[in-house]
Amino acid sequence: MAEPVGTAASGALQDRGTRRPALSPSRAGDFKQCPLLYRFRAVDRLPETPTRAQVRGTVVHSVLERLFGLPIEQRDPEQARALLAPAWAELQEQQPELAGLFDGPDDPELASWLESATALLESYFEMEDPRRLEPEACELRVETELDSGVLLRGFIDRVDVAPTGEIRLVDYKTGAAPREIGEAKAMFQMKFYALVLWRTRGEIPRQLLLMYLASKQRLAYAPDETELRRFERTLEAIWQAILRAGKTGDFRPNPSRLCDYCDHKALCPAFGGTPPPYPGWPEPDPGEESVLDRTD
Ligand code: SF4
């Protein structure tokens, strides 16, 4: 996992060794979608096979992070293209099993996959000019504890702070999920980060910006305090429901059309499967996200 670029939010960064039960936007979203999916991922920790589209999203995020680590005048499309191979190589080093996505370095499908990642980067440059921006942080790991004791943890793609102090949170979407499904999920994630930033810095971000690179569309949203307070109560309720299910092991399946994207269908009672014996609530649940969690 890459370290943040730039200055981190005061008090927002925590030691990576910290382990306390925590809620991330991905896991909260899992539980909302299907409690059994949450169990499979967060409690059983069953392995999943990432798709090429997910991995491409991770690589593109990594390139954009590296790009903002360069001196401002060097942030051009050529540099971005040059960063692609090292970003892919580093991801394979971190997760050697990803090399199995292709039949070796000469697989023509690898070349076209890299080409599709390049196209997303080119779209990015059509959407904004990184030479006109100096983000405060990229891939910022944030964490905060709500008054109720719920610990929230996650990564923000980019934090921009205007000279006047207004904060903008930016999230890149590389388009692996269907737009209508992905949008609600993405907004949930962005409200999560807005709440963490607000609780950490005492300031509500002025704007949440989703950048859909494949379609070159931007979706901007201005959160307000009433809404974030309501969202905070929603997260607390989700966490309480997770803890209740965690004690009893009663994580129910909630079938939907999203089951088509579930890696664990074969173990799901809604599809005639049998889950493994409940291993018990993990103590403590680190609430961590993998790099692949953060792609769309
Ligand atoms: S197949 Fe559907 S219902 Fe079953 S665990 Fe996966 S998401 Fe839940």
Residue 91: closest CA among 288, 296, 294, 264: 294
Categorize the per-residue pLDDT at 19 as very low, low, confident or very high, splitting at 50, 70 and 90. low
- pLDDT tens column, 62-79: 999 999 999 999 999 999
CA torsion through residues 12, 17, 18, 19, sign:
positive
Please tell me if the CB atom of residue 14 comes closer than 6 angstroms to any atom of ligand 1: no
- Crossing angle for the helix pair 179-201 and 25-33, to the nearest 10 degrees: 130
Residue 3 reports pLDDT greater than 60: no
Mutational pocket test of ligand 1: of 34, 256, 267, the residue with most ligand atoms within 8 Å of the beta carbon: 34
Mutational pocket test of ligand 1: of 262, 263, 267, the residue with most ligand atoms within 8 Å of the beta carbon: 262
Give the ligand 1 atom nearest the CA of 264: 6
CA distance 196 to 176: 26
287 contacts 153 by C-beta, under 8 angstroms: yes
Residue 221 reports pLDDT greater than 60: yes
- pLDDT tens column, 129-186: 999 999 999 999 999 999 888 999 999 999 999 999 999 999 999 975 556 667 788 8
Show the tokens assigned to 117. Answer: 């990642």
Please tell me if the CB atom of residue 268 comes closer than 6 angstroms to any atom of ligand 1: yes
109 contacts 102 by C-beta, under 8 angstroms: yes
Show the tokens assigned to 152. Answer: 């929230």
| Side chain identity, residue 196 | V
Please tell me if the CB atom of residue 270 comes closer than 6 angstroms to any atom of ligand 1: yes
Q: Which residue has the tokens 């040059």?
A: 82
CA distance 151 to 138: 22
Categorize the per-residue pLDDT at 284 as very low, low, confident or very high, splitting at 50, 70 and 90. low
Q: pLDDT value at position 283?
A: 65
135 prior amide bond cis, ω within 30: no
Q: pLDDT value at position 15?
A: 37
Extents of the domains making up the chain: 11-47+133-238+288-294
CA distance 143 to 138: 15
C-alpha angle 159-160-161 in degrees, rounded to nearest 5: 120
Q: pLDDT value at position 293?
A: 56
Please tell me if the CB atom of residue 154 comes closer than 6 angstroms to any atom of ligand 1: no
pTM score, whole prediction: 0.84
Please tell me if the CB atom of residue 265 comes closer than 6 angstroms to any atom of ligand 1: yes
**Average of per-residue pLDDT across 192-204:** 95
The total of other beta-carbon atoms located within 10 Å of residue 271's CB is: 13
Annotate 78-104 with DSSP letters as a single string: HHHHHHHHHHHHHHHHH-GGGGGGSSS
67 contacts 80 by C-beta, under 8 angstroms: yes
